Structures are given as structure tokens and as C-alpha cells.
Amino acid sequence: MNFRISFEEAIHPELVAELEKSVTYASAKLRSFRVTADGRGAEVECEQGARAEVTDKVGKLVGAMLRSFRSLGEPEEIARRTRRDSLPIESDAFAELEKRKWVRVLGRGQVSLAGGAYALRRFLDEAVRDVAKTRFSAEDEDHPALLDTEVLVRCGYFRSFPHSVCFASHFVEDFDAIESFRAANAESDTLAVPEPSALTHSDAVLRPAVCLPVYRELEGASLPPGGITITTSGKAFRYESRNMAGLKRLWDFSMREIVFVGSAEDVEGQRTRMIEAVTSLMDAWDLGGRLVAASDPFFATVRGAKALWQRSRAAKYEMMVEAGPEAIAAGSINFAGTLFGDAFGIRTNEGEIATTACVGFGLERLVLALFSQHGFARERWPGVLREVVFG
């Protein structure tokens, strides 16, 4: 059923997109939600009979977001890059990738990569790894995709992003509970969970970013002079409800990060080199876009977390690149201040709490942006990528 709700005050234009994305978590019975042009209401579609419940839950979510909102104005532009390739952006590169079987949707937010798309993702990952090793002397490491739940507790993640967390739940050791689950599923053609309480959620989560295990690994460490730089890559997981679509927003996605851990001077001293590294990669890949000081510093909708974030002098630059009709964030530089140093007791050589920053790339989003910007004709692609994608 369709209906309209009104807001007491108009939604600030800066908040509209964020609100439309977040409201999906308000109720499983909500089907769509679009803020009206004047910002004073929204067109809502929900399951039959759920109007009262949906109105109530959406109202609470909108209220919470309005209370924590603070306009930051136009985001400051740090750098801008125009493509050499002057042909128009592909409006639906994902559809063409699907047609070639270079991507296949296997489930909600679950996409497999093959052919030119997978070859490109591998190449991009290696290219960033190479920059990390040669320009930042980073150590290359690999971590589990599972993360002790406690790691997220300690950095305040459950105060901020509970809606997107994925718990790795499993049966508690118990013959009777496991046997009754087995029996219930012996002949069933859908999953049956007769006793949800037999499952535990407490010991592990799926990491929502690949840098998090690095801070856990450095727990209690005293860093060498100059700090350390680590690069790592792999799958990260965020449940994004109805917002999951194509390669733009996956439940299970790939990231390469470069993580800087050291004194405030060490890490802030690298700031210019981090910006240069990101823009020089955009140049190598002929990727058009902007690096902007993000108006949405990590913990956007949560007042307490935002304050914490600001106290720790965090900042975020986002790499916004064109991919079809809109720009997407395919990379970022994140200054976390002493947030992680504090949470994990990491100290500099001088005994101060360590400062951290990271440069991260969303590899599937980069793949999508590059196919959007260079299409499917070999000659449009920059030389360094041509062979990789088309063989």
C-alpha cells in the first residue's frame, strides 16, 4: 500500500540521500521511501496492513537522524581529476558485465567475478599493494575475515553501526540441539531453525573493514621509531538491506587498505603523500573524479559516536568517481586520530598513544567505475589496463 507522511520540519537537502538509505533499516515491512521535492514529506510504500507500524518506526528513525544532523555545507574539494577518455560514461556497465558473464549475481549482495572483471580486480589490488610497498615501505599481511566480537565492542562499533553488523553464529556444543536441528532439516527444502537460542552470536563477527584486525594485532605494542605501515586486502562484510545492488553496494566486498600507525606527527606527515598516492593511481587508471573532505565522518547518524570521532580529531577524504548516472565513493583516506590507539593500547616509541590513518579502496566499486568510464571497447582503455581486461 502507498501513502504519504509529513515531517514537522523540511529535511535539509544534504540529509535526503542519507535518510533514504538509512530508512530501509526501520522496518522489514517497508518497501520504498522517497522524500518529496520540497523535503516536507515522503512517499511511502509498505506491506498491506503495516501502515501504522511503518509510520511509527520510520518516524522514530527520521527523528533520530534530524536530531543528530548538523549541516557541514558543501564538501571541500581536495583534488579533482578529469578523464582523458572523453567518450560518455556508460549508463549501465553492470548490465553489460552480466551479459558477458564477467559478473554473476549469486545471492543478495553476493556477486562473483570472472573474465575481464576479475582480472581487473586482481590488477587493481596488486597496483595498490605495489604503491604501499614501494612508496610507503608497507609490510604485506593477511588476516582472518572473522573478528573477535570484542574488537568491535572495544572500538565502539555496536554503538554506531549495529544495523550493518554480521555475526558469525554457530551452534553451541550440545548434542540434543544439534540433533534436533539436523532432524528438522533432514527432509526440509528450506532452512528450519527449531531453537534459535541454540545458536550463539557472541564470539565472532565478520569484519566490516579490513583494517580492523591490524589494530587488534598491535594490541599493547610499542611501535618502532617512525611507526609502522601495513597493507592488507580481503573480503569485508556489511549488511546493507535493500540498498544492496550490483557492484555498487555488496554485502560481501573486497578492500585493499594501507594502514599507518605511529605518532601524530608520523601519520599527519604522511597526509600529502597519501593524497598524492590516491591521485596518481587515478591518473594511471584514467579515472575521473574528485577527492573531497567528506561531510559524513564515519559515524554519521549517531550523536555520541560523532562526538567521540570529532574529539579524536578524525577526518575523512573520499574518492568520488563517476559510475553511471551518479558518483560513488570508491576509496577514502581516513584519519582516525587516537581512536584505535586508545582502544588497543598501542603506543609510539616515545610512549604516547598511537595515531592511525588508513587509505582504503573498494575494489568492486573501482571495477564498476572503470567499466563505466571506459566502456567495453579495448582502445578506450588506458594502456596499462588494456591487456589486463581484454587479454
Give the residue with the Cβ less far from a copy of itself, 72 or 172. Answer: 172
Q: Is residue 176 close enough to count as binding a copy of itself by CB under 8 A?
A: yes
Report the distance separating Cα 291 and Cα 277, nearest Å.
12
Name beta bridge partners: 213.
none
Give the residue with the Cβ less far from a copy of itself, 178 or 275. Answer: 178
**Piece of 133-141, 262-270, 322-330, 371-379 that binds a copy of itself (CB under 8 A):** 133-141
Binding-site string for a copy of itself from residue 202 to residue 241, where x marks contact by CB under 8 A and - marks none: xxx-x------x--xx----------------xx-x-x-x
Q: Is residue 112 close enough to count as binding a copy of itself by CB under 8 A?
A: yes
Tell me if residue 287 falls in helix, strand or coil. Answer: coil
Binding-site string for a copy of itself from residue 243 to residue 282, where x marks contact by CB under 8 A and - marks none: -------xxx-x----------------------------
**Piece of 82-90, 184-192, 307-315, 368-376 that binds a copy of itself (CB under 8 A):** 184-192
Quick one: cell of 55?
Answer: 509510520
Write the CA distances from 348 to 146, 151, 262, 315, integer angstroms: 27, 21, 6, 21
Report the distance separating Cα 33 and Cα 11, nearest Å.
14
Report the distance separating Cα 143 and Cα 216, nearest Å.
11
Q: Is residue 295 close enough to count as binding a copy of itself by CB under 8 A?
A: no
Q: Do residues 214 and 261 make contact, with C-beta atoms less than 8 angstroms apart? A: yes
State the virtual CA torsion across 53, 57, 63, 64 in degrees, nearest 10: 160
**Piece of 34-42, 70-78, 99-107, 270-278 that binds a copy of itself (CB under 8 A):** 99-107
Q: Is residue 14 close enough to count as binding a copy of itself by CB under 8 A?
A: no
Q: If you count them, how many residues does the chain have?
A: 391
Spatial CB neighbours of 137, under 8 Å, sequence gap ≥ 6:
229
Give the residue with the Cβ less far from a copy of itself, 252 or 322. Answer: 252
Give the residue with the Cβ less far from a copy of itself, 10 or 172. Answer: 172
Quick one: cell of 267?
Answer: 601519520
**Piece of 13-21, 157-165, 262-270, 291-299 that binds a copy of itself (CB under 8 A):** 157-165
**Piece of 116-124, 283-291, 318-326, 382-390 that binds a copy of itself (CB under 8 A):** 116-124
Q: Which of residues 335-374 bind a copy of itself (CB under 8 A)?
A: none
Q: Do residues 390 and 116 make contact, with C-beta atoms less than 8 angstroms apart? A: yes
